[in-house]
Structure 1
């Protein structure tokens, strides 16, 4: 009977566990510095619950790779330029549509209504992906559709994510046309509503874009904390009343946060 192969020292379970622990600790150090801005060896060791020498070795290793750097005057550490090099490679490799797709499908399956992913293009919200729920009345394909920013929930979320200067430019160019009797056409009223959108983290539209259609949307953020898109769920007004449906608002907000996390967003961004 053949003898079982012996694991070499590097591949032994103990060494593998120690390696995983070291990676975990190194990431924790980076998270502490990202949150605090800068920190000394003793403070990092205390927060991590490790010996000062352990924290010192971790910082030395990260410093060697350019992930952290030490301020020579205060002796404290901060994130290094190596982090920037890694971060700058993220946006080009992430596809918003690809990362959002499973979240859109889950939300559509849960609420059985149409879920859209939209981005800002010029003066419009452009739907770049869609997941249909089983209760969808018509097989409308919104992908590629240009929808007005001031009259749709996605559009209002995207407008709320802009600077006041950029919003004003869009309002002047589009002139807020009335699409239904419920469309907001006053700049002052729109600005007031956008403040609520920013404060609440979502926008609700009831028959402002199309009679018989209601929707709710939330923002999607990138790794810099900028709004790069919106997720909306819509349905016929006779059955889809977002503010009266238990759990809907929180579930849609969670969907936006899940996609944002996939795009590198952190609440500390």
Structure 2
């Protein structure tokens, strides 16, 4: 499976966060923000935002003298046999926080072995998940998550997917022409959330942003009932801005 070149997304700062973690890891007794700035070359204002995010996610801790040390989350994610369990728990906690922050059901979707899969969901009584009335694997052309995943593939991989999952009309809004679908995917800016306005299901609107962590093809998505459609773009932009912790967990 060939991928398109990795986009430059608002959460490209994940690469900087990894540099910060690498620096903190080198100093078992703690390291000051001034030393981190000097070693990473990051400007103070950017570093402050990264350290705030890393502290919030438990990847670093600030001790009494103000120095930074590795936090419990990073210790758990690096502990061998329990890593997968710790990662899932960490991702779920992050998704739960995102759900509450954006006021919508939130999903992680991955493209694995030629198939679209929803791997984790955070929903609730006030933020119901979209009802899977048509198998998500067969409806990537219609959902925000599916289109976001397809957009990360090259033309041959997309055509292979469509050859195995024929484009079907799910609602009156569904794009059923392959040329039109691919044209829309090609014109989709990498930094702008992909939207689904009742293309997958009547009564539901969705948005998705790519999760670019190495060769992983994934996305972070949200769904809202149609009566909250007026909140979709603001919620999608918020999701995009807050995607960094999810990407960071996948990259570690």
TM-score normalized by the length of structure 2? 0.60
Q: Deviations over 1:214-239 (max 9, x none)?
A: 100111122x2x34321111011122
Q: Runs of 5+ in structure 2 lacking a partner?
A: 1-26, 43-77
Alignment of 1:35-50 (within 5 A): none
TM superposition outliers: structure 1 runs of 4+ over 6 Å: 89-92
User: Residue by residue, what CA displacement relative to the aligned partner does 1:2-51 show, whole Å, maximum 9, x if unpaired?
Assistant: xxxxxxxxxxxxxxx9964599859965x56xx9xxxxxxxxxxxxxxxx
User: In 1, are the aligned partners of 2:105 and 2:129 still within 8 Å (CA)?
Assistant: no
Q: Which residue of 2 aligns with 1:248?
A: 235
User: Do residues 194 (structure 1) and 185 (structure 2) align?
Assistant: yes
1:112-261 correspondence to structure 2 within 5 Å:
112-136=103-127, 146=137, 148-222=139-213, 224=214, 226-243=215-232, 245=233, 247-261=234-248
Distance 1:90 1:22, change over 3 A: same
* Alpha-carbon contact 1:201-1:219 (below 8 Å) kept: no
CA distance in 2: counterparts of 1:90 and 1:157, whole angstroms:
32
- Measured on the aligned residues, the alpha-carbon RMSD in Å equals 3.7
Q: Specify which structure has the bigger relative contact order, considering alpha-carbon pairs within 8 angstroms and separated by 6 or more residues.
A: 2
CA positional deviation for 1:211: 1.0
8 Å CA contact 1:156, 1:197 repeated in 2: no
Instruction: Give 5+ residue unaligned stretches, structure 1.
Output: 1-16, 36-88
Whole-angstrom CA distance in 2 between matches of 1:234 and 1:136: 8
Find the structure with the greater CA-based Rg: 1
